[in-house]
Amino acid sequence: MPTIHSHYLGELRTEQTHVASGQKFITDAPLDNQGRGEAISPTDSVCAALSACMMTLMGIAARTHEINIAGLQASVTKHMQSNPRKIQKIEIEFYGWIHIPDERQRLILERTAMTCPVALSLHPDIEQDIKFRYD
């Protein structure tokens, strides 16, 4: 059984359906690549997947080690290369969580984030600049 069903809607827009849950999302080509930019672009969704995957693994580690990461957020910035057009760099800054004074807990979370399947699946030419800011 497929994981995702993709449907081209025309005008550089697609609809993606997660088969198991039925959840859907739309993608649009960005304004700087002939699109309308009215929905997340495919390359933006790659960056969002990286952030979400890292957060999910940190959540698993937090649950396992009883670390409070309530309020965790991330700011994600994508940098594109023009020739060939591709993602050059993804910057993610994690912030907004309760102060974590224990250095061991910080290392657990940070190392876990870097082992997420999306991070490990991206081409090595894509720079992943990951920062952790503790409030």
Please give the chain's pLDDT, 135 residues, in tens: 899 999 999 999 999 999 999 999 999 999 999 999 999 999 999 999 999 999 999 999 999 999 999 999 999 999 999 999 999 999 999 999 878 889 999 999 999 999 999 999 999 999 999 999 987
Q: Quick one: 100 and 49 in the same domain?
A: yes
Q: Quick one: 58 and 123 in the same domain?
A: yes
What per-residue confidence (pLDDT) applies to 100? 87
- Distance, in Å, from the CA atom of 132 to the CA atom of 6, rounded to the nearest integer, reads 34
What per-residue confidence (pLDDT) applies to 101? 84
Output the pTM of the full model: 0.94
Q: Quick one: 99 and 67 in the same domain?
A: yes
What per-residue confidence (pLDDT) applies to 7? 98
Q: Quick one: 27 and 47 in the same domain?
A: no
Which residues face 46 on adjacent strands?
Answer: none
Q: Quick one: 65 and 20 in the same domain?
A: no
Q: Quick one: 12 and 74 in the same domain?
A: no
Q: Quick one: 101 and 128 in the same domain?
A: yes
The domain tally of the chain equals 2
Q: Quick one: 100 and 64 in the same domain?
A: yes
Q: Quick one: 21 and 78 in the same domain?
A: no
Q: Quick one: 92 and 128 in the same domain?
A: yes
> Domain span at residue 21?
4-33
What CATH number did the domain enclosing 64 receive? 3.30.300.20
Q: Quick one: 26 and 83 in the same domain?
A: no
Q: Quick one: 20 and 51 in the same domain?
A: no
